[in-house]
A and B are shown apart, each in its own frame.
Chain A
Amino acid sequence: MTVQGESADHQWVDDHAGPVVRPYAMTRGRARPVTGTFDLISLVTATRADVTPEVGLGPEHLAIVGLCQRIQSVAEIAAHLDLPVGTIRVLLGDLAARNLVQVREPQTTAGLPDNSIFEAVINGLRAL
């Protein structure tokens, strides 16, 4: 059923149409972040409760700050915002450069001082 007077544009802009903006348009064509590497499981938290729109920040940047009021991994941010990881990395680089997010890179196994992480995971899994 078509609503009378609905513009032609609207018929195309629904969930089934897929993304209306190509992913790298949100990054203004940039494929790499200005700072940081952002592993899939790097953890990100916002440093402020919210951010007022400013030059250089798009709605996706603000959405990330909103999402990261609770600690999220890079992969989770990408999944929740339904954007490719590469796009999220660029946007996170912008936010990190402005100190709007805090990032913790993951622990590598080689860098572990002892077995405590293994033991914590085993005990944590058993307690689930």
Chain B
Amino acid sequence: MDYGHSDRPAGATPLPTAIKILVAGGFGVGKTTMVGAVSETRPLRTEEVLTESGVGIDDLSGVEEKTTTTVAMDFGRITISDDLVLYLFGTPGQDRFWFVWDELALGAIGAVVLADTRRLADCFPSIDYFEGRGTPFVVAVNCFEGARQYRLDEVQTALNLDPGVPVLLCDARQRESSKEVLVTLMEHAMKTREARRRAADAN
């Protein structure tokens, strides 16, 4: 039997465009849960092994040791259409792995910062990071059972956020709720991009 001609012609298929969104926040805040809630498959895990030669970023304070470190990232995929695929990456632990964040954030269309009102300070580093990079982000307060409910403006004030940054409540376990967070982020990212473009045109 000859199946040879039923193959896809070599190199003829236009590949889809891939874009990525980051899901950041403190340890245990529900990043992988949210990735899993909206992904078409269970979250996958990929690892970067950082060796001396793999660490080529300027600011290496704290990671000068020549040891090998493994950083795990959980991620998921949403196929939007035949020519558009969205990847969601849960960022690895904060502080020690900024160089992995730099790689992840490069080209990211936006970020979700998940917050837990019982440990609000845990998301400060993520907010600082995205503010510093100019990556559009939204803050999603994951509503854990038993946690005191705060008003969104209280959270906004506590985090000292720019008034333009959307803050919303969510349940990271729920697909609909997590979808809404991503839609809010995309709308915010689109507005941010338009505003920057206008500002650039004005100059």
A13 beta carbon closer than 8 Å to chain B: no
B75 beta carbon closer than 8 Å to chain A: yes
A84 near B47: Cβ-Cβ < 8 Å: yes
- Tell me which of A32, A48, A80, A104 contacts B10 (CB under 8 A): A48
Within 8 A of A (CB), among B167-203: 175, 179, 182-183, 186-187, 189-190, 193-194
B159 beta carbon closer than 8 Å to chain A: no
Q: Mark A99-114, 1 if CB is under 8 A from B, else 0.
A: 1001110111100100
Known contacts A49-B7, A73-B87, A76-B77; A108 and B38 CB within 8 A of each other = no
Q: Is chain B's interface secondary structure helix, strand, loop, or mixed overall?
A: mixed
Interface size grouping (class) on chain A: 35 or more
A16 cross-chain contacts in B, Cβ below 8 A:
none
A92 beta carbon closer than 8 Å to chain B: no
Known contacts A106-B17, A107-B17; A41 and B87 CB within 8 A of each other = yes
CA distance in complex: A49, B109 (Å): 33
Within 8 A of A (CB), among B6-23: 7-8, 10-11, 13, 15-20
Q: Mark A50-89, 1 if CB is under 8 A from B, else 0.
A: 0000000000000000000001010110111000111100
Which A residues are closer than 8 A to B by beta carbons? Answer: 23, 31-32, 39-43, 45, 47-49, 71, 73, 75-76, 78-80, 84-87, 99, 102-104, 106-109, 112, 115, 117-122, 124-126, 128
8 A-B residue pairs with Cβ-Cβ distance under 8 Å, sorted by A, are A41-B85, A76-B44, A84-B47, A86-B54, A104-B18, A112-B193, A115-B193, A124-B86
Which B residues are closer than 8 A to A by beta carbons? Answer: 3-4, 7-8, 10-11, 13, 15-20, 38, 44-49, 51, 53-54, 70, 73, 75, 77-78, 80-81, 84-87, 89, 103-104, 106-109, 175, 179, 182-183, 186-187, 189-190, 193-194
